[in-house]
Chains A and B, each alone.
Chain A
Amino acid sequence: MLTTREELDDRLPGAARAWLDEALAEAAHATDRPDTGTGTPDRPDTGNPPSGTGTGNPPWETRFASAGRHCGTEHADAVRALLLIEARPAAPDLARLYAQGTAAERRAVLLTLHRLDLGSAALTLVEDALRTNDTRLVAAAVGPYAAAHLDAHGWRHAILKCLFTEVPVEAVAALADRARGDAELARMLHDFAAERTAAGRPVPADLRTVLALTATPAAAPTEES
């Protein structure tokens, strides 16, 4: 669960709060002209980072990149999520932001997807993250957005990926709902357990947790995501 603006205001020191106010104001004008670093008649160049750094992207994106050093790495996910929610980038812009992002920025995008009314347009970002072996990205990818939009095959492989990379399955949103009555997932888990046992290696405790969930009969479909 991401920290709210009110909680952040309580935790951030004064300078960081002021920085966040300015950053959110810039995000609210996300469609402004790109930051060319040279200034324009109606937007003078201050020559002072983070504005005026000539990235070619909207100024709020420079705020997005620099959230860690201005607000502390422990608050960076929450700050970046607030900026995304304020800026509401369209799916192509969000894909570019993700592609140009550090691992920390990509994680923040993944954690916020379900708050951005994107439909299934951002599914490629989840798929990209699930191809990595960076557990911070894998864990962020299996949130509510993945639960709502990953197809059955992709979702089952996401579960296996968590087990392989030791991402705790508590990170998986709607785990019980999607696992319930999933005979194919149960087969995959049994096969994985057999492979581990044959190798003399321990079977992850999380595997048994998920396996137990698959044994519950499927309920009628719901709107829940």
Chain B
Amino acid sequence: MRIFDPHIHMTSRTTDDYQAMYDSGVRALVEPAFWLGQPRTSPASFYDYFDALLGWEPFRASQYGIAHHCTLALNPKEANDPRCTPVLDALPRYLVKDSVVAVGEIGYDSMTPAEDTALAAQLQLAADHGLPALVHTPHRDKLAGLRRTIDAVRESALAPERVLLDHLNETTVRDALDSGCWAGFSIYPDTKMDEDRMVTVLRNHGTDRVLVNSAADWGRSDPLKTRKVADAMLKAGFDEDEVDKVLWRNPVAFYGQSGRLQLDIAAPDPLHEGNSILRGGE
């Protein structure tokens, strides 16, 4: 089984996690730029973080046989801090980098005017740079936040099929899929979603345009949740091809829209007969 975790904050994880992820089948991941738990106080702090996502962290991942890509952005929380917003001016020089496969995480936290401004500006940056966008949906007032997010996407230059709406649940999945965007689900030990609820969502809404991630970070989270969802799918009667679609082909198709995915991973037989190397946006 091959697994692509489309949203995980490896900077906050250990080498034991990398090993366990590899042993579970994880061969590729995307690390979105986000809040560090401790608020940043200057743009320079972002730049060191972005540089780490383009330098040290891919090296760490490579030591464990895992391909590392990232998404970069000013996150929703810190879009509200005027000490941090100059990051928006520096993003263009980061968004041209080879391993940046989307703009993200962007979106809403508290749905403030400052968040409106940062979201619109960064959706435009994504369009300018030929990149898709990873959009976080808010934890508080989620359904209203999702609808406001979809409105922002509609008003942007970015087509919905180039947008991944993340942290969805039972109350937001229908609107998200109806919008034409991709639908992301973060599986957590206590909050957001769990693997059995995820299986039910897949039963009710199908596997098209659906991605599953661990969103593991510095909080209580589990970098093996992607594998646990795969196992729960198999147990519930989904076949291996459907598992491969949700846990590998869907994230490859979404981020492959950047034209920047580099995946030299052997494909399991017989899903891709005669094609042992999967690379680029295939």
Chain A positions within 8 Å of B, measured between CB atoms, are: 37, 47, 49-50, 52-57, 62, 65-69, 73, 76, 100, 102-104, 106, 132, 134-136
Contacts and interface: CB of A to CB of B under 8 A. Distances in A.
B43 interface: no
B275 to A, nearest CB: 18
B130 A57 contact: no
B98 A134 contact: no
Given A37-B92, A57-B93, A103-B56, 16 more contacts: A52-B128, A53-B128, A55-B93, A62-B96, A65-B96, A65-B97, A66-B98, A67-B98, A73-B262, A76-B98, A102-B51, A102-B55, A102-B97, A103-B54, A103-B58, A103-B59
B174 interface: no
A46 B116 CA distance: 28
Contacts of A67: 98
A68 B280 CA distance: 11
A108 B55 CA distance: 13
A49 B96 contact: yes
Contact of B98 (A49, A54, A65, A135): A65
B262 A134 contact: no
Interface in B248-282: 259-260, 262
Interface string B40-76: 0000000000010011101100000000000000000
Contacts of A68: 98-99, 262
A67 B262 CA distance: 13
A49 B129 contact: yes
Contact of A69 (B51, B92, B129, B259): B259
A45 to B, nearest CB: 11
A131 B97 CA distance: 23
Contacts of B95: 53
A37 B89 CA distance: 12
Q: How large is the interface on B (under 10, 10 to 19, 20 to 34, 35 or more residues)?
A: 10 to 19
A67 B130 CA distance: 16
A96 B20 CA distance: 38
A202 to B, nearest CB: 20
A134 B58 CA distance: 10
Contact of B54 (A54, A62, A76, A102): A102
A47 B254 CA distance: 23
B243 to A, nearest CB: 29
22 contacts: A49-B96, A49-B129, A53-B129, A54-B92, A54-B128, A55-B92, A55-B93, A56-B93, A62-B96, A65-B98, A66-B96, A66-B97, A68-B98, A68-B262, A69-B98, A73-B262, A102-B99, A103-B55, A103-B59, A106-B55, A134-B56, A134-B59
A53 B92 contact: yes
A100 B93 contact: yes
A37 B54 contact: no
A73 B97 CA distance: 12
Interface string B114-135: 0000000000000011100000
B226 to A, nearest CB: 25
A106 B51 CA distance: 11
Interface in B7-66: 51, 54-56, 58-59
A153 B116 CA distance: 54
A102 to B, nearest CB: 4
A210 B184 CA distance: 53
Pick the 5 closest A-B CB pairs, nearest first.
A68-B98, A103-B55, A55-B93, A102-B54, A54-B92
Given A37-B128, A68-B262, A136 B59 contact: yes
Nearest to A57: B93
Contacts of A50: 96
